[in-house]
Amino acid sequence: MAQARVIAVINQKGGAGKTTVAMHLAAGLARRAPAVVVDLDPQASATQWAAAGTQPFPATVKQLRAGAATVDLRRDYRGFDFVVLDCPPAADSRAAELALRCCDVAVIPVLPSPVDLWASLRLPQHIDDARQHNPALRAWLLLNQIEARSALSAAMQGALAEFGLPVLRTPVRRRGVYKTAALEGVSAYQMGARGAAAAAEIDGIIEEILAS
Q: Which stretch binds Mg ion (CB under 5 A): 38-46, 91-99, 185-193, 198-206?
A: 38-46
Contact status: 17 vs ligand ADP (CB under 6 A)? yes
Nearer to ligand ADP, 25 or 127 (CB): 25
Output 82 or 178, the one with its CB closest to ligand ADP: 178
Spatial distance between the Cα atoms of 145 and 156, rounded to a whole number of angstroms? 14
Asked if 172 touches ligand ADP (CB under 6 A), the answer is yes
**Contact status: 180 vs Mg ion (CB under 5 A):** no
Residue in 65, 157, 179, 196 binding ligand ADP, rule: CB under 6 A: 179
Q: Does 175 bind ligand ADP (CB under 6 A)?
A: yes
Of 92, 96, 146, 100, whose CA–CA distance to 6 is shortest? 100
Phi, psi of 173 (to 5 degrees): -80, 160
Site for ligand ADP in 95-154 (CB under 6 A): 144-145
- Say how many residues touch Mg ion, by CB under 5 A: 3
We find the least distance from the C-beta atom of residue 98 to ligand ADP, in angstroms, to be 17
CA end-to-end span of the chain, whole Å?
A: 8
Helix (H, G, I), strand (E, B) or coil at 62: strand
Which member of 7, 10, 17, 18 binds Mg ion (CB under 5 A)?
18
Q: Is 170 in the site for ligand ADP (CB under 6 A)?
A: no
Q: Which of residues 77-96 bind ligand ADP (CB under 6 A)?
A: 89
Report the candidate in 66, 140, 67 with the shortest Cα–Cα distance to residue 103.
140
**Amino acid in the structure at residue 176:** G
Q: How far is CA 208 from the centre of its chain?
A: 14
**β-strands 60-63, 105-110 pairing:** unpaired
Stretch that binds ligand ADP, among 17-25, 50-58, 147-155, 186-194 (CB under 6 A): 17-25
| Alpha helix ranges (H) inside the chain | 18-29, 45-51, 73-76, 94-102, 114-118, 123-131, 154-163, 176-184, 192-211
Residue 15 makes contact with ligand ADP by CB under 6 A: yes
Contact residues: ligand ADP, CB under 6 A: 14-20, 45, 89, 144-145, 172, 174-175, 178-179, 182
